[in-house]
Amino acid sequence: MPTAKNYRYFILLIAIALLSGCASVQETDSAANYSPMVRYAMSLQGTPYHYGKSSPEEGFDCSGFVQHVYGHQGIALPRTVQGMAQSLSQVPKNDLHSGDLVFFNTNGKPFSHVGIYVSNDNFIHAPSQRTGKVLVSSLKNRYWGERFSCARRP
């Protein structure tokens, strides 16, 4: 007959196995749904913001970040936010896919900021000197939600 100590040890091992199994499935599912552009973009989180720049070494502004990520995958995009918006096909907000571009009106112009849609209402971008780095934000965030202009698909 098993002892109480062995029983507790057995239960602990089962709990660890179940929890680690759940975590790995969740991570794999998320990564599997990302486009190659998004996987690369996510690897650049924390890169410094630098207006007018478009490389991991020098830093990024918003359009430089998007142009670099897509260029890394062999897809040429215009350098400016407005150029990107004007050259790509519009996508309904309720049909966003990983890798789509999301545009915002942050200074009175409908195309003054751009980011790359990740999933689950999250997007990655180089927001500003104030935030100082590439990061992930939510479309549900009041600031970004109120300023959302449209989405485009490269």
Tens digit of pLDDT for each residue in 72-104?
A: 999 999 999 999 999 999 999 999 999 999 999
Higher pLDDT, 113 or 14: 113
Helix (H, G, I), strand (E, B) or coil at 153: strand
Q: Give the C-alpha separation, 102 to 149, whole Å.
A: 8
Cβ burial 33-69 (10 Å sphere, 16+ → b, else e): ebbebbebbbebeebebbeebbeeeebbbbbbbbbbb
pTM of the model: 0.79
Q: Give the C-alpha separation, 124 to 116, whole Å.
A: 5
113 is catalytic: yes
- Considering 50, 68, 72, 125, which one is annotated as catalytic? 125
In this predicted structure, the answer to whether residue 12 has a pLDDT above a threshold of 80 is no
62 is catalytic: yes
Question: What sections of 35-126 are H helices per DSSP?
Answer: 36-43, 62-72, 81-87
22 is catalytic: no
Q: Give the C-alpha separation, 15 to 43, whole Å.
A: 32
- Considering 50, 68, 97, 113, which one is annotated as catalytic? 113
Could you report the per-residue pLDDT of 16-71, keeping only the tens digit for each?
A: 333 333 232 233 335 556 878 899 999 999 999 999 999 999 999 999 999 999 99
- Considering 22, 62, 97, 150, which one is annotated as catalytic? 62
In this predicted structure, the answer to whether residue 9 has a pLDDT above a threshold of 60 is no
Could you report the per-residue pLDDT of 107-153, keeping only the tens digit for each?
A: 998 899 999 999 999 999 999 999 999 999 999 999 999 999 999 99
